[in-house]
């Protein structure tokens, strides 16, 4: 062991001696910022938040190191009171991964937003220059509480802090359409919160505690699940799915993510929707692992598959870049919920793949929204058909967008490649081959909309041809471009980490060897035959899409309500299929249909759990 390694090991041992006290820091840092925010004012708050996020990343990495080296979860009892009288904090490997991911994205957003929310020329603060930073701290505090909380009511409070911080971020621009999107988000999120809280009340009335560890012990000893527990799980799950915006409960997601400022969209897509997914994971895997043996996992998997297919197809139909990325988020959420049916037969592979999807998607989607924001600011719009020439003007921005898209696509050595390899291996190991087909179709559809955007950006006709030269594009800040590029590289190069780094995911979970699972997934990586086998379908899809892009000297897309496709039979068939799914999506995002979907899903989940034990 070198001297540097010995010093690092000694430092980790010192942190381990502190016990779970280190878990307090991720909660205290955003709270400190909120308390001091009004005193500092918008003039200094942005820099202060940047410092806090940097410290937060250090604290998250310290917790991850302690958990990994110690080989067990960290726990801390607030006030020294044990549950059920007290409230505890707990960080296993999954929590540590989420803490590091959220801190990394928050730091990147804080860097990006230094220029996006500046002080005016006379030195006075504006509403956005102050409120944005306070809301960002609120989101960060809510996320960290969700990742560390062990009590169902504490988690409810954290979810509400997250909701009431995220909703105003959507409406920060003050436009009528963003206000409407924020109100829709708020109402649907509150409906989900009410369902979750009702389920928690039923559980407390049945077992007299809301601590997840105690509930796991008491539920495991029962021969049959009481009806109150079945109803509670169904209500809580449906409420959390509404907050996650899993298909077909995505009423609020597209307009909210597309209408928010780019820095806010990056946080919403990369992190906020993951909090409620994380709680579904806690309930189904930690509190009641017996749920994996019920038909309910197939319902969650079917919803995930629907999200992948519908989200990608509707994304391909979008004419605005931010709306395309929003529907891409809907599709990528679907991969997370394939974890549940696959975990029943191959938990290590499925859980590791799902965790990597959280990390890879967070970095890639934050980079895509940041890049889209820079493009929109430069051109004054984000219409895909009028992006011609933007690649020559903003090469770093377009490169960041393209690399992030490749990470989502799943090419080696990206995090997306590991995700799809692990989940496909889990599907093969559990005999559920159909989920693998869904992932393959999702990858090709992702390639289609990625090549469509890049085709217009690289080869499309200039949208400003014939216009006066004073309409030149607005150059973004170099720091903003580099932040987006670095996040995209994080997602793209995630597969180059050594397998031992992925052992963190399995800490605190018996029988989950994440490092071995990743080693299996990477066994065929960088093999030219495997690489070509993954690449040629993508290239074919890319060529077909590029053939539909008007080249320089042709006409820009004139119809803003439709996507230009080739005149071939294949092109017309694709347009018809896309239009059908677009109409289905529009119908599902109506309030009556969304409410009916909630009801039917709740009844379906409850029915699938009846008789379980």
For the stretch 336-348, pLDDT in tens is 999 999 988 788 8
Asked whether residue 608 is domain-assigned, the answer is: yes
Other beta carbons less than 10 A from residue 376's beta carbon:
16
Closest CA to 508 of 97, 59, 15: 97
Choosing from 127, 150, 173, the residue where a domain stops is 150
> How would residue 7 be classed by pLDDT, with cut points 50, 70 and 90?
very low
Helix H segments across 124-175? Answer: 127-148, 152-170
> How would residue 13 be classed by pLDDT, with cut points 50, 70 and 90?
very low
Question: Are 72 and 28 found together in one domain?
Answer: yes
> Which 8-state DSSP code applies to residue 596?
H
Question: Are 366 and 487 found together in one domain?
Answer: yes
3-state secondary structure 470-530: HHCCCCCCHHHHHHHHHHHHHHHCHHHCCHHHHHHHHCCCCCCCHHHHHHHHCCCCCCHHH
Determine the Cα–Cα distance for residues 578 and 20; give it in Å rounded to an integer.
51
The answer to whether the beta carbons of residues 396 and 485 sit under 8 Å apart is yes
Question: Are 144 and 266 found together in one domain?
Answer: no
pLDDT of 86 above 70: yes
The whole-number pLDDT of residue 107 equals 96
The answer to whether the beta carbons of residues 612 and 225 sit under 8 Å apart is yes
Structure tokens at 441: 């179709």
> How would residue 42 be classed by pLDDT, with cut points 50, 70 and 90?
low
For the stretch 524-556, pLDDT in tens is 666 666 666 677 777 787 777 777 666 554 444
Closest CA to 74 of 82, 86, 64, 84: 64
Within 40-147, strands assigned E span 74-77, 88-91
pLDDT of 483 above 70: yes
First to last CA, the chain: 50
3-state secondary structure 354-381: HHHHHHHHHHHHHHHHHHHHHHHHHHCC
Choosing from 100, 133, 150, the residue where a domain stops is 150
Asked whether residue 417 is domain-assigned, the answer is: yes
Question: Are 373 and 444 found together in one domain?
Answer: yes
Closest CA to 319 of 494, 449, 448, 213: 449
- pLDDT greater at residue 13 or residue 223: 223
Please list the residues that pair with 211 across neighbouring strands.
Answer: 151
Question: Are 592 and 523 found together in one domain?
Answer: no
Please list the residues that pair with 383 across neighbouring strands.
Answer: 320
Structure tokens at 315: 């994304």
For the stretch 304-361, pLDDT in tens is 999 999 999 999 889 899 999 999 999 999 999 999 999 887 888 888 889 999 999 9
For the stretch 561-613, pLDDT in tens is 444 444 455 556 666 777 787 888 888 889 899 999 999 999 999 998 886 65
> How would residue 470 be classed by pLDDT, with cut points 50, 70 and 90?
very low
Asked whether residue 98 is domain-assigned, the answer is: yes
Question: Are 503 and 373 found together in one domain?
Answer: yes
Structure tokens at 325: 């990325």
Choosing from 150, 173, 192, the residue where a domain stops is 150
Question: Are 363 and 379 found together in one domain?
Answer: yes
Asked whether residue 422 is domain-assigned, the answer is: yes
Asked whether residue 508 is domain-assigned, the answer is: yes
For the stretch 272-302, pLDDT in tens is 999 999 999 999 999 998 898 889 999 999 9
Question: Are 261 and 300 found together in one domain?
Answer: no
Question: Are 313 and 223 found together in one domain?
Answer: no
Asked whether residue 459 is domain-assigned, the answer is: yes
Asked whether residue 361 is domain-assigned, the answer is: yes
> Which 8-state DSSP code applies to residue 553?
T
Question: Are 448 and 480 found together in one domain?
Answer: yes
**Residue 383, helix vs strand vs coil:** strand
The whole-number pLDDT of residue 123 equals 55
Q: Compute the mean pLDDT over every residue in the chain, rounded to the nearest whole number.
A: 84
Percent of the chain with pLDDT over 90: 48
Q: What is the count of structural domains for the chain?
A: 3
Question: Are 523 and 421 found together in one domain?
Answer: yes
Asked whether residue 124 is domain-assigned, the answer is: yes
Question: Are 285 and 300 found together in one domain?
Answer: no
The whole-number pLDDT of residue 308 equals 95
Give the range of the structural domain holding residue 249, as residue numbers without chain letter. 184-289+575-613
């Amino acid at each position: 062991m070198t001297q540097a390694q010995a010093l690092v090991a000694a430092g980790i041992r010192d942190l381990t001696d502190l016990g779970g006290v280190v878990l307090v820091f991720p909660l205290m840092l955003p709270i400190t910022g909120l308390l001091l925010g009004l005193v500092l004012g918008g003039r200094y708050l942005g820099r202060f938040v940047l410092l806090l996020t940097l410290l937060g990343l250090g604290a998250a990495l310290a917790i991850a190191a302690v958990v990994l080296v110690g080989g067990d979860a960290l726990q801390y009892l607030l006030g020294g009171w044990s549950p059920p009288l007290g409230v505890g904090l707990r960080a296993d490997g999954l929590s540590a991964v989420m803490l590091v991911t959220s801190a990394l994205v928050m730091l990147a957003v804080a860097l990006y937003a230094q220029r996006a929310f500046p002080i005016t020329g006379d030195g006075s603060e504006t509403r956005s220059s102050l409120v944005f930073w306070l809301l960002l701290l609120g989101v960060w505090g809510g996320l960290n509480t969700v990742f560390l909380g062990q009590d169902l009511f504490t988690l409810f409070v954290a979810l509400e802090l997250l909701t009431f911080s995220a909703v105003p971020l959507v409406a920060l621009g003050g436009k009528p359409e963003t206000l409407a999107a924020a109100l829709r988000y708020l109402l649907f999120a509150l409906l989900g919160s009410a369902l979750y809280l009702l389920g928690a009340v039923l559980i407390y009335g049945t077992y007299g505690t809301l601590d997840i560890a105690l509930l796991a012990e008491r539920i495991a000893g029962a021969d049959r699940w009481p009806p109150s527990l079945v109803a509670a799980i169904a209500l809580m799950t449906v409420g959390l799915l509404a907050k996650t915006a899993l298909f077909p409960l995505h009423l609020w997601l597209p307009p909210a993510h597309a209408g928010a400022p780019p820095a806010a969209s990056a946080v919403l897509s990369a992190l906020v929707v993951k909090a409620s997914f994380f709680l579904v994971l806690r309930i189904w895997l930690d509190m009641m692992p017996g749920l994996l043996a019920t038909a309910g996992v197939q319902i969650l998997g079917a919803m995930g598959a629907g999200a992948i297919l519908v989200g990608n197809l509707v994304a391909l139909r979008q004419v605005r870049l931010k709306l395309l990325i929003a529907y891409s988020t809907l599709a990528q959420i679907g991969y997370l919920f394939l974890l549940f049916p696959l975990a029943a037969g191959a938990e290590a592979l499925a859980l590791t793949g799902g965790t990597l999807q959280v990390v890879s998607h967070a970095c890639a989607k934050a980079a895509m929204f940041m890049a889209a924001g820079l493009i929109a600011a430069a051109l004054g719009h984000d219409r895909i058909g009028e992006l011609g020439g933007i690649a020559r003007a903003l090469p770093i921005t377009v490169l960041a967008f393209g690399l992030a898209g490749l990470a989502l696509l799943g090419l080696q050595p990206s995090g997306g490649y590991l995700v799809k390899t692990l989940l496909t291996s889990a599907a093969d190991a559990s005999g559920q081959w159909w989920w693998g087909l869904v992932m393959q179709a999702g990858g090709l559809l992702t390639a289609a909309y990625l090549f469509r955007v890049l085709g217009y950006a690289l080869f499309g006709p200039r949208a400003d041809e014939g216009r006066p030269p004073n309409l030149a594009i607005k150059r973004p800040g170099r720091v903003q471009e580099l932040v987006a590029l670095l996040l995209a590289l994080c997602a793209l190069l995630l597969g180059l980490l050594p397998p031992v780094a992925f052992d963190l995911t399995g800490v605190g979970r018996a029988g989950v060897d994440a490092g071995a699972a990743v080693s299996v997934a990477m066994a065929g990586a960088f093999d030219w035959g495997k690489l070509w086998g993954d690449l040629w379908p993508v290239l074919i899809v890319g060529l077909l899409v590029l053939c539909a892009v008007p080249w320089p000297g042709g006409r820009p897309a004139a119809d803003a309500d439709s996507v230009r496709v080739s005149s071939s039979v294949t092109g017309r068939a694709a347009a018809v299929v896309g239009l059908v799914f677009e109409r289905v999506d529009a119908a599902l995002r109506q309030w009556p249909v969304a409410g009916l979907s909630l009801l039917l899903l709740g009844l379906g989940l409850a029915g699938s759990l009846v008789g379980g034990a």
